[in-house]
């Protein structure tokens, strides 16, 4: 587990080396601006799960699937909350996208969540092809400044690379204008309940049949306690390392540790005892009442049947 709470970003800042040619420096500068001025893309895991699912269901012979991304956009960021796949045909020299279908689906989705708008489109696969440019043009008509997301389901680099791009014009004005796709930073965000769901489902990775049942209540508390224990032992080993000089002490980590220790409330033993007892009594009383009610209705049932 990580000990620093900073968000993990996919870094995309190429190192600026002063010995390169002016053109390269200019390009780096340009990319730097783009990466800063492009919107931050926040993705919910439900979108990725849907994309993987549509990839698994693709037609015979289709090498990739495309679809529309729905969500909300504001000044600095774009939040992708939903998506649906759109049937399309792609061959060497042409590409055909079923736009009627896309429109229909969007209308249907709008009925459920009226606040979601088209903010871009996705494609599985690693590269951006010329066909992508055409499709991107179509989507530019549907949404202002659409983003394009690629999900590498073929696992070219042994990982599912998820990237997002925004297109911008490139070239000399007056002559042929090209399109450049500039990358954007991606962040995964979750609703609390989504996070809990995903954490539970992480366990399917461990089981060989890729299945996982939902556990009983006390078992969940036990596993949560186990997790906290793990985190504590990680921290302890880090502290030992720092004390023995193996690892350099990091001030920010030290401050967090200080906060943590201060958070444990200082209560006298009697106060704690009384608090604990009253809570336990409440819970026991409620359990007793619940059992009583259940016995009552069972009894009532039997009496009626007589």
DSSP of 139-194, one letter per residue? HHHHSSS-EEEEE-TT-TTSS--EEEEEEEEES-TTS--EEEEEEE-EEE---HHH
- Tell me the closest approach of the beta carbon of residue 32 to another protein, in angstroms: 22
- Tell me the closest approach of the beta carbon of residue 155 to another protein, in angstroms: 7
Q: Using CA atoms, how far apart are residues 241 and 78, in angstroms rounded to an integer?
A: 41
Give the CA distances from residue 123 to residues 148, 149, 212, 287, in Å, rounded to whole numbers and listed in that order.
8, 6, 30, 53
Closer CB to another protein, 170 or 285, in the complex: 285
Residue 183 forms beta bridges with which residues? 165
- Tell me the closest approach of the beta carbon of residue 30 to another protein, in angstroms: 26
CB 27 within 8 A of CB 14: no
Closer CB to another protein, 177 or 201, in the complex: 201
- Tell me the closest approach of the beta carbon of residue 246 to another protein, in angstroms: 23
Q: Radius of gyration of the chain from Cα atoms?
A: 27
- Tell me the closest approach of the beta carbon of residue 118 to another protein, in angstroms: 16
Closer CB to another protein, 127 or 199, in the complex: 199
Closer CB to another protein, 53 or 240, in the complex: 53
Closer CB to another protein, 134 or 280, in the complex: 280
């Amino acid at each position: 587990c990580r000990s620093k709470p900073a968000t993990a970003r996919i870094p995309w800042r190429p190192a600026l080396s002063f010995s390169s040619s002016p053109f390269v420096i200019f390009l780096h500068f340009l990319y730097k601006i783009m990466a800063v001025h492009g919107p931050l893309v926040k993705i919910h895991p439900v979108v990725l799960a849907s994309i993987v699912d549509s990839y698994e269901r693709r037609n015979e012979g289709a090498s990739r699937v495309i679809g529309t991304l729905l969500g909300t956009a504001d000044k600095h960021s774009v939040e992708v909350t939903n998506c649906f796949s759109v049937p399309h045909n792609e061959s060497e020299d042409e590409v055909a996208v079923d736009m009627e279908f896309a429109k229909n689906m969007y209308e249907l989705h709008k009925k459920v969540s009226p606040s979601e708008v088209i903010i871009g489109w996705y494609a599985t696969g690693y590269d951006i092809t010329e066909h992508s440019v055409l499709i991107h043009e179509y989507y530019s008509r549907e949404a202002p400044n659409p983003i394009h997301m690629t999900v590498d389901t073929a696992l070219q680099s042994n990982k599912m690379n998820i990237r997002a791009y925004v297109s911008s014009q490139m070239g000399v004005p007056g002559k042929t204008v090209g399109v450049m796709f500039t990358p954007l930073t991606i962040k995964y965000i979750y609703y609390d309940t989504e996070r809990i769901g995903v954490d539970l489902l992480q366990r399917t990775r461990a089981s060989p049949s890729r299945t996982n049942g939902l556990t009983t209540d006390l078992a969940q508390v036990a596993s949560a306690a186990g997790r906290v224990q793990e985190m504590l032992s990680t921290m302890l080993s880090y502290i030992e390392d720092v004390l023995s000089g193996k690892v350099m002490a990091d001030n920010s980590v030290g401050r967090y540790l200080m906060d943590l220790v201060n958070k444990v409330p200082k209560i006298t033993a009697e106060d704690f005892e009384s608090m604990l007892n009253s809570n336990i009594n409440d819970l026991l009383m409620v359990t007793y009442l619940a059992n009583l009610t259940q016995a009552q209705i069972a009894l009532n049932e039997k009496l009626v049947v007589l």
